[in-house]
Structure 1
């Protein structure tokens, strides 16, 4: 057995994966140390508050939403012919990306920053429209991918039925 194959068997991924993980940890540690140089207590309170907000409010909220989406898009099994199970990921992925964009840009999207124009000399009024446009484009792209994959699945099913006749 070669060394890379043995490493992959023991580690579970390639050496490049391990290298990238270690580099990301080093970058996160550097950013954390730089962040704590300023207001260490404020940063610590912010991290604890963010963790509590996530674990006590957001996690139950998006878990219930995800369960509802799974119940909506999952077809029951029975004597009917197989139907493609629509993956919740076609909703989950664009919603996640849109949520992250809103999380990063929420002060500008919700127009909660008065000094933005004075500091940057750029107008702050277009962010809501742009965020809505990006969100719509993400969901539209996801819908296109879903339609294409469903048609491919449908054609494959027709070919399989005609081949068995």
Structure 2
């Protein structure tokens, strides 16, 4: 028996509720305001950064994510371990997000500028990012092992109780 397809009602079905649109517009406005305030006097550079980062994400990073994910699915599928996918995707996603956000400091390119603005050393971001990545991977591995042990115990055949 086939389920009927949900109907999309005009633009509201595509765009979401008015509250969602308002929240999205406010978040863009807040991000734009924060960007302009952080780089006061460099409004054109802020706009170029926003447009450039959107283009970089959509034209370079999304195809890269998709290709890496397809390769991971094929690799784990060939090994018969597709159930491991979330345990690899999770730490990879979080580590990649941290790398994307903190790349200038992780790469060491803006350490002097960061030290001048924050009054803190810009050193050590690479080591911290690697440590966080290792902890994320270890935690995900521990969850996978715990899940595997729980499933193994649940699937063991227990002898019938004697009366």
1:143 Cα deviation after fit: 0.4
Question: TM-score with structure 2 length normalisation?
Answer: 0.69
Residue 132 of structure 1 corresponds to 130
Distance 2:25 2:83 in 1: 39
Task: Give 5+ residue unaligned stretches, structure 1.
Answer: 1-17, 77-82
1:30 Cα deviation after fit: 3.5
Distance 2:58 2:155 in 1: 43
Task: Give 5+ residue unaligned stretches, structure 2.
Answer: 1-16
Distance 1:84 1:153 in 2: 15
Q: Secondary structure at the match of 2:156?
A: helix
Distance 1:70 1:106 in 2: 27
Deviations along 1:109-139, one digit per CA (max 9) or x if unpaired, are 1111122223333222111111110000001
Q: Secondary structure at the match of 2:83?
A: coil
Residue 92 of structure 1 corresponds to 89
Contact 1:98 1:135 in 2 (8 A): yes
| CA 40–120 in structure 1, closer or farther in 2 if over 3 Å, else same | closer
| CA 33–104 in structure 1, closer or farther in 2 if over 3 Å, else same | closer
| CA 116–49 in structure 1, closer or farther in 2 if over 3 Å, else same | closer
Contact 1:84 1:150 in 2 (8 A): no
- 1:1-165 alignment runs, 5 A limit: 21=20, 24-25=23-24, 27-32=26-31, 34=33, 35=35, 41-74=44-77, 85-113=82-110, 114-159=112-157
Q: Secondary structure at the match of 1:125?
A: coil
Question: TM-score with structure 1 length normalisation?
Answer: 0.68
Q: How many residues align?
A: 141
1:88 Cα deviation after fit: 1.2
1:36 Cα deviation after fit: 5.9
Q: Secondary structure at the match of 2:121?
A: coil
Q: CA RMSD in A?
A: 3.2
